[in-house]
Copies of this chain bind each other. A is one copy, B any other.
Amino acid sequence: MIRAAILRLLAEVGYGALTMDAVAAEAGVGKATIYRRWRTKQDLVADTITELNATTVTPPDTGSLEGDLREVLYAIVDVINGPMGAATQSLLSTVPHHPALGAAFGDGPVGVWRRAFAQVFARAEARGELRPGLAGTVTAEALMAPLVQRWLITGHPVTRDYADQVLADVALPLLRATWKPRG
């Protein structure tokens, strides 16, 4: 698959050293196939980023805020440790220097994750577990931020065990303290 080949190459050699020919070779297709679809390397990468950002994560409905949050955090762990995580890390220092890539990147994978959280919040609001309005707040950003920090800066492993700790020690206590329904 061409997109998988692009992600592998971004992770391995980075945007600077990526070539259309290498993408064709890695994907096992002819160069004409690549050039028919994308005119330049920048088109190809921007298009790949746009597709990734359009990914929909639908967290399973476990029936509780705790269960749903765990599923979203696990999904984030899986993305971080997969080909998209490695490609994203490799792109991050390139994006600010290429306006077209920056525009396509936007909030990157965090946008996808934010939408998944918004679904979980909506369900919890409907069940009366949360006050309405959490999506889009700094509190909502904080629920996934420790995973992102480990992934990008400290390089410590981002595991499901770590997600469990973030859930138990950060996400649930914070939401209970500040987003409990009134009355």
Contacts and interface: CB of A to CB of B under 8 A. Distances in A.
A30 interface: no
A152 B153 contact: yes
A81 B167 CA distance: 30
A1 interface: no
A57 B109 CA distance: 32
Contacts of A107: 153-156
How many protomers of this protein does the assembly include? 2
A32 interface: no
A90 interface: yes
A75 interface: no
Contacts of A155: 95-96, 102, 105, 107
Interface stretch (A18-26, A123-131, A138-146): A138-146
Interface string A140-179: 0110111011101111100000100110011001101110
18 contacts: A14-B16, A92-B92, A93-B93, A95-B155, A106-B154, A107-B153, A107-B154, A109-B153, A110-B149, A110-B154, A111-B154, A137-B169, A138-B169, A138-B170, A141-B149, A152-B152, A152-B153, A176-B177
